[in-house]
């Protein structure tokens, strides 16, 4: 095999298209100035290397590869308004942009990809699949008002018009954003592992997994006013673990198909959790702080636990009266003062409600219409109020209150219903 080293020093405004064939080749392009363009094309080669290094503003760097094995690419851009584009069939890629208003496009097949952007108003568009082996993809952005977009083919705005569009991506994905007002949009198909970290305020994350099996999604947001939206489609045995720490954060998740698992942890005040589950999924939501809210909607065989600790929390549980849960279970626990909970359980049969409020000044409303369903509720403290409406066949209500100045209102309609109320 021949081994060739080509190193080019370019001045401002020079356009350099380079095509390299055969094995063991190395191409290195260095440009400094304004508005330079560098293009490297490599085809049908092994053990090759392509590198582009640009300093200045408004540069363009492009690497296009086909039929490659054991290749390594590296791009470094420093300045404002630069753009890089890589269409690859390689094992390893390392890319970096430092400055503001830079754009990166990574497409093709790879084994290990590392892409870093530092500065404000940068964008990364990623469409990378595994290259014979499971692919690892790590994207890091440091700065404000940056964007990471994964799994959306060009032109990118088609994903805005059709949110169902997604592309198969790498198996292990790691995103990190440090700064404020950053966004991540990930539309994935058959992705196995995602780990997302956002540190700062007013950040946004959206992921949509349309299919897959045994997927794991870990989300960690720390700051104020952050938002996380997750959609798990028709895959099975998928796991979501989402943590938010700060003030005024919001988490929304929608899980479809069978045997998916959900865990949402929110620490701080004025946080919101909006959870939708259907078809034999399990979940746990925990909120710690004050003035938090949890909205829970369930269909068909779900199991969900809600824990709220602090003051002035609100929880609402709602089952779909059309498809109604069968063998569903909800466990709601509120500790502290002045909490409210509303439960609408319109399941078909065999649903179970476990409700606990510990502290003072709580109120809870339960409207349950089903067959062979049970409700057990306990309020510990003073000044609590509990209201229950049950209608159906063979319903049961077991209510216990301990403390002073507590009130229970209960209405039952139907056949074979039972009630047991204890105040002490």
What's residue 231's pLDDT? Answer: 81
Segment 128-133 shows an average pLDDT of 63
pTM for the structure as a whole: 0.86
Greater confidence, 297 or 96? 96
pLDDT of residue 172: 82
Angle value at C-alpha 191, between 190 and 195, nearest 5 degrees: 160
Secondary structure class of 132 (helix, strand, coil): coil
* Average pLDDT, integer, range 1-26: 47
pLDDT grade, residue 78 (50/70/90)? very high
> What's the average model confidence in pLDDT over 147-175?
67
Q: What angle do CA 251, 255, 258 make, to 5 degrees?
A: 155
Residue 238 DSSP code: -
The predicted structure's pLDDT at residue 3:
32
Give percent of the chain with pLDDT exceeding 70.
82
**Residue 396: is its pLDDT beyond 60?**
yes
**278-298 pLDDT tens trace:** 767 788 999 999 999 999 987
Q: How confident is the model at residue 370 (pLDDT cuts 50, 70, 90)?
A: confident
Mean pLDDT calculated for residue range 135-159: 81
User: Could you report the per-residue pLDDT of 101-121, keeping only the tens digit for each?
Assistant: 999 998 877 788 899 999 999
Cβ contacts of 219 within 8 Å, gap of 6 or more: 196, 205, 228, 230, 240, 241, 242, 243
Partners of 343 in beta bridges? 317, 366
pLDDT digits (tens, 9 = 90+) for 24-56: 788 899 999 999 999 988 887 788 888 999 999
**Is the model more confident about 330 or about 81?**
81
Please work out, in degrees rounded to the nearest 5, the angle formed at the alpha carbon of residue 36 by the alpha carbons of 31 and 39.
85
Look at 4 and 422; give whichever has higher pLDDT. Answer: 422
Average pLDDT over residues 189-205: 87
């Amino acid at each position: 095999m021949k081994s060739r080293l080509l190193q080019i020093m370019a001045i401002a405004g020079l356009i350099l298209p380079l095509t390299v064939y055969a094995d063991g080749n190395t191409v290195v392009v260095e440009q400094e100035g304004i508005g330079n363009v560098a293009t490297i094309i490599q085809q049908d080669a092994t053990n090759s290397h392509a590198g582009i290094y640009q300093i200045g503003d408004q540069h363009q760097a492009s690497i296009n590869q086909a039929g490659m094995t054991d290749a390594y690419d590296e791009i470094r851009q420093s300045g404002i308004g630069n753009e890089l584009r890589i269409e690859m069939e390689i094992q390893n890629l390392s890319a970096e942009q430092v400055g503001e208003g830079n754009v990166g496009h990574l497409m093709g097949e790879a084994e290990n990809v590392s892409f870093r952007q530092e500065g404000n108003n940068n964008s990364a568009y990623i469409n990378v699949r595994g290259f014979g082996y499971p692919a690892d993809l790590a994207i890091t952005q440091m700065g404000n008002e940056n964007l990471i977009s994964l799994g959306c083919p060009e032109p990118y705005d088609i994903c805005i018009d059709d949110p169902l569009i997604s592309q198969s991506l790498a198996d292990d994905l790691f995103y990190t954003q440090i700064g404020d007002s950053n966004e991540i949009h990930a539309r994935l198909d058959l992705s196995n592992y995602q780990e997302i970290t956002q540190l700062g305020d007013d950040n946004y994350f959206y992921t949509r997994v349309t299919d897959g099996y045994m997927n794991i999604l870990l989300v960690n947001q720390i700051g104020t006013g952050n938002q996380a939206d997750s959609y798990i489609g028709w895959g099975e045995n998928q796991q979501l673990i989402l943590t938010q720490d700060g003030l005024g954060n919001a988490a929304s998740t929608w899980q479809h198909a069978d045997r998916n698992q959900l865990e949402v942890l929110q620490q701080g005040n004025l946080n919101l959790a909006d959870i939708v589950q259907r078809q034999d999924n399990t979940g746990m939501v925990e909120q710690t702080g004050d003035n938090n809210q949890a909205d829970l909607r369930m269909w068909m065989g779900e199991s969900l636990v809600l824990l709220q600790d602090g003051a002035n929390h609100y929880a609402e549980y709602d089952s779909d009266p059309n498809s109604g849960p069968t063998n569903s279970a909800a466990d709601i626990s509120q500790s502290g003062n002045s909490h409210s909970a509303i439960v609408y359980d319109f399941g078909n049969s065999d649903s179970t409600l476990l409700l606990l409020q510990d502290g003072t000044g709580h109120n809870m409303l339960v409207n349950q219409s089903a067959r062979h369903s049970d409700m057990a509720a306990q309020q510990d403290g003073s000044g609590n109020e509990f209201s229950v409406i049950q209608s159906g066949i063979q319903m049961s209500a077991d209510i216990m209150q301990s403390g002073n100045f507590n009130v229970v209102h209960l209405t039952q309609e139907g056949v074979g219903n039972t009630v047991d109320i204890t105040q002490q």
